[in-house]
Amino acid sequence: MAASLWLVAAGAVNTVVASEGFACPRGLYVLDSQGSTTNINGVSMRDANIRTNAFVTGYALRADWSTMEPVQDQFDFTLIDWNVRRLAAGGKKLSFLFINTDPAWVAQSPGVTTWYDASLGRNRAVPWDALLLTRFETFLHALAEHTIDGVKFKDHPVLAVVNAGLPGAKLAIRDPSPMFLRDLTGYSRANLTDAVRRSLRAAVTNFPTKFVQTGFWPVADTQNSPTLWEELRQSILSEFNGVTRPRVGFWMENLSASRLTPEQEPVIGKPVTTFGGPLYLSQTNTWANFQALTSWLRPFNNYDASVTNATPGDGISYAFGTYGSTYFELYVSDIDALAYRDELTRWQSRLTAGAPQLQLQATNNADLILRWDRAAPLTVVESATNCAGPFLPGAFLTNRLEWTNVAAGSAGVNIFFRVRQPE
């Protein structure tokens, strides 16, 4: 069932078996920084934040295309080699975030359509420029085929996740502030859609056994129905569907959570589901993952109000319950904070368990109470007397974590429950 969120079968009242509709990245990853234990040829190895804590799955390394291909067809993957070897020694995984700020030489090539990036103070190629996309494909292929101690990077067991982004934009399907994608030379929905799908196609083709995800913000143009981001979302999901092509997951770097006072409910989590629409609406088709907006212990960029009185666990709980997220990139100050260690340990165990946590309880009056550990926008619970079905239609529940089947738990009767997203 392509639309299933997860599947539950319960027999003899006290047995629960769960399986997910699709595999997804899992665990807690430490986000890198400019900090380094060493520089090689003047380049920071960005490895100072690598941690070997038991509750850490791995390391989220942001690597710049300009650093790895400073001159056309001259590749330098020292940064990758260094971090892969360090992570292998510590038994940790790598989440590779491709910072695809295209090298200056791309925009300087004859015939390239460019826009001026004020943040960099130079011209850049527009995302749909033919040469940019060709060079992006060439680069990803070279990276995938690069060998580290005899193993190709695309096959290396340390590598778990590849975040490919969209070349020519803001690291993602995202307006390259202060510009808008719709205002770049040559923009059309067809051109942008082709660029997005072509870049993602290059990622899944070159890294076919790894999780590939891309940042996805609610981009817009002058057409309101459908919105630009919704048309892009449907186009991506139709091609990268887990059947004809591997799934592509969605990602954002702005997860936060705060409280009005310490321990006071509710948790005020962000992004809200309207801003996070591409992720929120896709959670039954693919995964939705997050990087923290800032550190809860040491907030920066005036983001204090976004995390006040809360903890990383609050942020994880919000994204897990609202978006179904099972993968998080956190700042090293939060990873190192003793005050957060217990909750991060609990969340790491929960995130990497492999399937949603489910409970089935029989009450004294023979009612059965089925509980699951994350809300969905809409959930339907169905039951059958045989695991092969047929399953009887059940109630539609909105953002619910519990359902009671009245007087169903009679002794010796097997009942199978299915919790899913409606078609």
Instruction: Provide, rounded to the nearest whole percent, the portion of the chain with pLDDT above 90.
Output: 72
Peptide bond before residue 271 is cis, with ω within 30 degrees of 0: yes
pLDDT (mean) for 33-53: 96
In this prediction, residue 357 carries a pLDDT of: 59
In this prediction, residue 206 carries a pLDDT of: 98
Q: Describe the crossing of helices 189-206 and 130-145 by its angle, rounded to 10 degrees.
A: 10
CB atoms near residue 2 (< 10 Å): 12
CA dist., res. 104 & res. 255, Å (int): 31
In this prediction, residue 377 carries a pLDDT of: 57
In this prediction, residue 11 carries a pLDDT of: 42
Q: How far is CA 202 from CA 1, 85, 250, in A?
A: 28, 25, 16
> Of 52, 57, 65, nearest to 163 (Cα)?
65
Tens of pLDDT, residues 143-181: 999 999 999 999 999 999 999 889 999 989 999 988 999
β-pairing, 114-117 with 288-292?
unpaired
* Strands (DSSP E) found in 21-167: 27-31, 39-40, 43-44, 58-64, 93-99, 114-117, 122-125, 147-148, 151-152, 159-163
**Domain boundaries, given as residue ranges, for the chain:** 6-20+357-420, 27-351
Q: Is the pLDDT of residue 282 over 80?
A: yes
pLDDT (mean) for 188-195: 98
pLDDT (mean) for 317-344: 95
In this prediction, residue 367 carries a pLDDT of: 75
**pTM of the predicted model, to two decimals?**
0.85
Residues 27-351: name the CATH superfamily.
Glycosidases (3.20.20.80)
Q: Is the pLDDT of residue 419 over 60?
A: yes
Contacts of 30 (CB under 8 A, 6+ apart): 49, 50, 51, 56, 58, 59, 60, 329, 330, 331, 332, 335
Tens of pLDDT, residues 125-147: 999 999 999 999 999 999 999 99
Q: What is the mean pLDDT of the chain?
A: 88
Peptide bond before residue 127 is cis, with ω within 30 degrees of 0: no
Tens of pLDDT, residues 288-320: 999 999 999 999 999 999 999 999 999 999 998
CA dist., res. 134 & res. 314, Å (int): 42
Stated as kind and residue range, the H or E segment containing 194 is helix 189-206
pLDDT (mean) for 35-58: 96
In this prediction, residue 321 carries a pLDDT of: 83
DSSP 3-state of 228: helix
Q: How far is CA 423 from CA 192, 320, 387, 395, in A?
A: 29, 22, 20, 14
Q: Is the pLDDT of residue 414 over 70?
A: no
Q: How confident is the model at residue 7 (pLDDT cuts 50, 70, 90)?
A: very low
DSSP 3-state of 287: coil
What CATH number is given for 6-20+357-420 in this structure? 2.60.40
In this prediction, residue 394 carries a pLDDT of: 74
Q: How confident is the model at residue 196 (pLDDT cuts 50, 70, 90)?
A: very high
Rounded to the nearest 5 degrees, what angle is found at the Cα of 352, between the Cα atoms of 283 and 309?
75
In this prediction, residue 185 carries a pLDDT of: 98
Q: Is the pLDDT of residue 219 over 80?
A: yes
Q: How confident is the model at residue 101 (pLDDT cuts 50, 70, 90)?
A: confident
The mean-pLDDT minimum among 47-56, 120-129, 357-366 falls in 357-366
